[in-house]
Structure 1
Amino acid sequence: MTTASRAHSFNRAAAQYAASRPSYPSALFGTVEELMGRSLAGARVADVGAGTGIATALLRERGADVIGVEPGDGMAAQFRTALPGVPIVRGDGNALPFAHGSLDLITYAQAWHWTDTARSVPEALRVLRPDGALALWWNIAATDVPWIAAQNERIAHHCGVTPPPAARPDDRRAVRLAGLEGLRVARRQVRWSRTVSLDLHLSNVSSHSAFLVLGEAGTEAFLAEERAVLREVFPDERVEEAYEVDLLVVRG
């Protein structure tokens, strides 16, 4: 299964993605402002790989003049439903549809890993103003929580992939993995959690590309087994999901 196929698998599950994926804590955006050295209010921002608009909506709430960039039909349609007053253009980070030096901030929420960094890094630098910033972040399940670590192992086994390492990469390796070597990069982690129904948690799990490419039969079998396991941990069927947002900010 190619990276492009996995990236585009979200389009057929856009409504599920919008309804079940976690949002981001307010503290994340305060940290972005700290590291970019200005308020988001009035900043010209492009949210690239905007998907259904989860991060876009929060940037707008902070006063940013934000535009979404999304390549997928299904995700863009869901974005327009959720945020009818926010502009969205079709495109991706490998060829940004913006003029040189036109943006204060470019954000990638859960999306940078879908880009070709040999192209997306110079594209970001091209369209940023001299004092602009590039912010990349990922909601990462907190694997120091035992039930989450155990679930990650089950997911990896079912999907035939290598489980993610329990330890986060150090700053130098994180910068290298993101293709940002040689740039001025600051990194922060923001811990947060949310409590959701078991149904919503399982919908969130199955909205990831590893499941979307499996098809319904394989996914439904896993979810039935997972529901039984999690009922032992959460008998009231209220699941506390714990996350650590891993944030990288590049300053020009």
Structure 2
Amino acid sequence: MPPASSRALSFDAAAAQYAESRPSYPAALFECIEAFAGRRLAGARVADVGAGTGIATSALRDRGADVIAVEPGEAMAGEFRRALPGVPIVRGDGNALPLAGASRDLITYAQSWQWTDPGRAVPEALRVLRAGGALAIWWNTTAFDVPWIGEQHERITRHCGVKPRSAVRPSDSDAVRLAGLTGLRVARRQLRWSRTVSLDTHLANIGSRSAFLVLDEADRHAFLVAERERLGEAFPGGEVEEAYVVDLLVALPS
């Protein structure tokens, strides 16, 4: 497999596809962030790091947060500016935040913490956070207990040559350790939700994953053609229900 840095920047090759097909997040997620952080998002100064095309940034802004985005990818930042022309965005990543110290109430990583080095990203977050601030990281993870989704995941891992994800989610303590947040006060919540989309959107969504984007174009195309045929038979109406479990960690400095 290509190194993590290559996979992280691979999204630039499919920025428009990412913007059009990737899922957002349920309202309950942001309610949990407010509860764990002990403050409302309305009026909070937030940095959304690894903001991509602005999916999480848009949701945070809609809840009244004063958001600045941080994004390393040029094409992703371009899509962000088209979607959110009034929201400031700076180029950079979580290992060296281009932000002033003690300047933000909340730092968020939606789908992007795995592209950081926690040994560098955690101290950077603590530097930028104001007293009483919080760090929130989350992922839309796959609901493996849905049979067709679990079967599709197995096909994807075989085709892309990646290690299959465990169907057993880590315990709270393991999740904190794996995220590199040991030593901080961390609250965790897992929220199940779903969305119904067209088959085209679903295939564009899975095709925008980094494991696919680093493959040869012919390999990507072959898989998606075969997958369209499989799912077309299983879902003759042309729509699928994608099921997710949002895994949220909110860390508070001690």
Partner of 2:30: 29
How far did residue 55 of structure 1 move? 0.2
Distance 1:172 1:235 in 2: 43
1:184-239 residue CA offsets vs partner (Å, 9 max, x unmatched): 00000111100000011000000000000002100110011111111222111100
Q: TM-score under structure 2 normalisation?
A: 0.98
Partner of 1:244: 245
Partner of 2:154: 153
Partner of 2:59: 58
Distance 1:229 1:143 in 2: 18
Amino acid at match of 1:146: P
Does residue 85 of structure 1 match 2:64? no
Q: What SS does the aligned partner of 1:236 have?
A: coil
Partner of 1:6: 7
Partner of 1:193: 194
**Structure 1 unaligned spans of 5+:** none
Distance 2:141 2:110 in 1: 12
Q: What SS does the aligned partner of 2:51 have?
A: coil
How far did residue 15 of structure 1 move? 0.2
Amino acid at match of 1:98: L
CA RMSD in angstroms, aligned pairs only: 0.7
Summarize the alignment of residues 1-252 of structure 1 with structure 2, pairs less than 5 Å apart: 1-252=2-253
Distance 1:233 1:241 in 2: 14
- The 4+ residue runs of structure 1 with deviation greater than 6 A are none
| Number of aligned positions between the proteins | 252
Q: What SS does the aligned partner of 2:227 have?
A: helix
Q: What SS does the aligned partner of 1:40 have?
A: coil
Distance 2:140 2:91 in 1: 24
Q: What SS does the aligned partner of 1:67 have?
A: strand
**Structure 2 unaligned spans of 5+:** none
1:59-82 residue CA offsets vs partner (Å, 9 max, x unmatched): 000000000000110000000000
Distance 1:233 1:101 in 2: 52
Q: What SS does the aligned partner of 1:22 have?
A: coil
1:75-130 residue CA offsets vs partner (Å, 9 max, x unmatched): 00000000000000111000111122111000000000000111000000111011
Q: TM-score under structure 1 normalisation?
A: 0.99
- Percent identical among aligned pairs is 70
Amino acid at match of 1:97: P
1:30-84 residue CA offsets vs partner (Å, 9 max, x unmatched): 1100100010000000000000000000000000000000011000000000000
How far did residue 2 of structure 1 move? 1.1
Amino acid at match of 2:178: L
1:139-174 residue CA offsets vs partner (Å, 9 max, x unmatched): 011001000000000000000112110010111110
